[in-house]
Every structure is written in structure tokens, then in C-alpha cells.
Amino acid sequence: MGMTMTQKILASHAGLSEVKPGDLIMADLDLVLGNDITAPVAIDVFDKIKAAAVFDKHKVALVPDHFAPNKDIKAAEQCKKMRMFAGEHEITNYFEIGQMGVEHALLPEKGLVVAGNLVIGADSHTCTYGALGAFSTGVGSTDMAAGMATGKAWFKVPAALKFVLTGKMNQYVSGKDVILHIIGMIGVDGALYKSMEFVGAGIANLTMDDRFTIANMAIEAGAKNGIFPVDDRTIDYIESHSQKEYTVYAADEDAEYEQVIEIDLSTVKPTVAFPHLPENTRTTDEITEPVYIDQVVIGSCTNGRLSDFSKAAKIFKGHQVAKGVRTLIIPATQKIYLQCMELGYFKTFVEAGAIISAPTCGPCLGGHMGILAAGERCVATTNRNFVGRMGHVDSEVYLANPEVAAASAILGRIADPTEL
């Protein structure tokens, strides 16, 4: 029996010639990631098991990004614990104020993940790195602690779903719409503990940022991971960001998939996920009654990259944010922040009536920098819209791409960019 991309990476890191769905394996890790919510818990476990040192000081990454810059005393203590641990164990990949960023945008930018890697992170959106042809998945803090100590983790080999992408996306459609379209089709548990493997000629029409966004939200369909084949665009990205050696794995022709789903990208429309699940999707032309909003957030590990702000800036140019709509722009890394500033995007955003934040996860998880009050609605380029996700349990979050979010900020209601 042939193997999928994911199965080949897992087999290689487990020292096995073959694995099949359901196998339990112990595999070597290329990188272990933690943030300011999950790493402090992992550090406590690490100390409890009396681990002497991390398995490799270059293969652990710690990124305070959820409540940083510190929003309160508890957040400050969490980050202090990480900082002290990083210093004690001489961890080279510790990124805080001045070097900080939203972890899943920062690590690829820093070249810490490349094709063929096996990565675990104590954050569910660690699956982002599948865009680079890596196997990456979220784990709990206890598994993170064990990974830091031993450089190994156990896995149950997942079965796979194949998504065959064809065609080319239309204007105002991006990777965010593709993944929302898919989640709307299969549901939030449609890929439960499975690998979502994307193939097809349409992938050539997806930018790396599109792929990062799609892989990032694989977890919103319940997937263990999402993964893309490694093509010339992937290699160009890797070689321009990293000095690490990479390995290209390709699925066997006779690899088995539980389901094959074909998607013509030209049929995907700007899509919005209504409260309170990412599967509750509607295309903008299906929204017949006005949905008035109080806030817009453009940023996060899903849509906080330079291309996202480029698209948003084009929409905002020459327009004003609607009265009463708080609009937050949050670049995902310091590098993206500088690029936005140098390209004049910040001037456009501020003149339109938006504010600029330092890189942070902030409002995405209801942390800080944009908490919602009871009854308030937010259009966000983030990845989750669960009950109370961005604040009060009686608030609402609507997920959308950056252009829809910008148009919505201008019109004060969920809007399609063609309405401007």
C-alpha cells in the first residue's frame, strides 16, 4: 500500500519503512514550539519530571504572543517564566518584544520550518506549516514538555482526505475563502484526526500566503494536519528564508484516501463564517439582510501577512471607516510591520480611521487589544468565532478575508468589496 505525504514524513521520523492509518509510533522532532499560554504549563511539567536540559537548544522555539505586550500582571509573570527558562537552557529561538511576532507567521519567516520537517507546538494552529510541505500539529502542554526533554513524541498515524484543487480564484477571493468554503462543506468535524492533503493544478495559482491560511485553518475542520505538495513556489520561499536542509516528500500514486473532494477555485466566492462556528458559512451574495458591526480586526496568524494588508489598503484607500466601527490593524511580525510602514499602508489605514497595533494575537482569543462587550459584533480575519471567543459570551464574531473585512469597516456592515 502506498503512503500519503503525511505518512511518509511520519515513517521517516519514526525510522520505519512504512506506516498505515491507526499505527502508534514514536517519532523524532525537528522543532518544539510554545507560547505564553501553553509554555509556562509545559515548563512546570518539565521541572516536575526533573529533566536536566532541553534535547536541543536550537530546536525549541518560545514565542510570547497571546498576551504580549503584557496586558496584566499574570501575563507578565507568564512571560517572565518563559524568559527565565529560555535563558537557563540557552534557547536560541526565543522571540519577545523587539523580535516578537504571532508565532505561526514568525517561525516560517525566520526559516525555522522547512519541507519534510516534523513539528509539534502547544497551540492548535501549529498546522500552519503544512503549507511548506512539513508535518506540523498542535499538542498539549504535557506533550510539549516531553518533546522539549526527549526530542520525541508519539503519534497515531492519521488517515487522509484528498482535496483536488483546480482553476483560479477570482478577484476578492483568497485562501481564506477557500478554507471557509471547505469547512462549510465538510463541517468542523469533517476531517477529525485526519490529514487534509491538498493537490491539483489549482495549487499553482495559490500564493504561499494563501497556502499558510488554508493550512492554518485545517484544525477548524478537526484535522490533525493540513499539507501541501512542495513545488517551485515552496522551494523559493524556503530558500529565501532558511539555511536549513529540506526534504521533499510526495504521496505515492497508490496512496489511500478516505475521501477525494474536487474544488474548482473559480467557483469559490467571498465567504463569511457567521457565529458561532467556522462551518456556518455564507457567501457575501447570500447575505440578504444587513449585519451591522461594531469592530473590525485585520491580522492574526491566519491573515496578518503583508499580502493581507496590501489587499486591505487598496480597499481603504480614499475611504473612511464608518462612524462607530473600531478598526484594528495588527501586523503579524515586526518585519511585516516595517514593510507596511515603508509601503505607506499605515498612512492609508490611519487616514481611513483605523489604529495600528504591535504584533500580537491579542483580540483573536479575547486576550486584549479589542475585546467585545455584550451584543457587539466584529468582522475579523482571524480563525475562530466560538461563543465568547473575542470577549463577552453575548458578542458575535464573523470570519472573513481582509478585503471583505475592510469593505465592512467602511460600510459599517458585512459587505462585499464590489459594493464600494
Binding residue positions for [4Fe-4S] cluster: 301, 361, 364
CA distance 369 to 364: 9
Burial call 343-379: b when 16+ CB within 10 Å, e when fewer: eebbebbeebbbebbebbbbbbbbbbbbbbeeebbbb
Is 145 within 8 Å of 43 (Cβ atoms)? yes
Q: Which of 218, 242, 16 is nearest to 112 (CA)?
A: 242
Give the residue among 196, 35, 220 at the shortest CA–CA distance from 131: 196
In angstroms, the first-to-last Cα distance of the chain is 53
The annotated binding site is made up of 301, 361, 364
Pick from 133, 137, 103: which is nearest to 119 by CA? 137
Give the Cα separation of 107 and 123 in Å (integer).
13
Distance CA 128, CA 211 (A): 8
Which ranges of 89-190 would DSSP assign to H, the alpha helix? 103-109, 141-150, 175-186
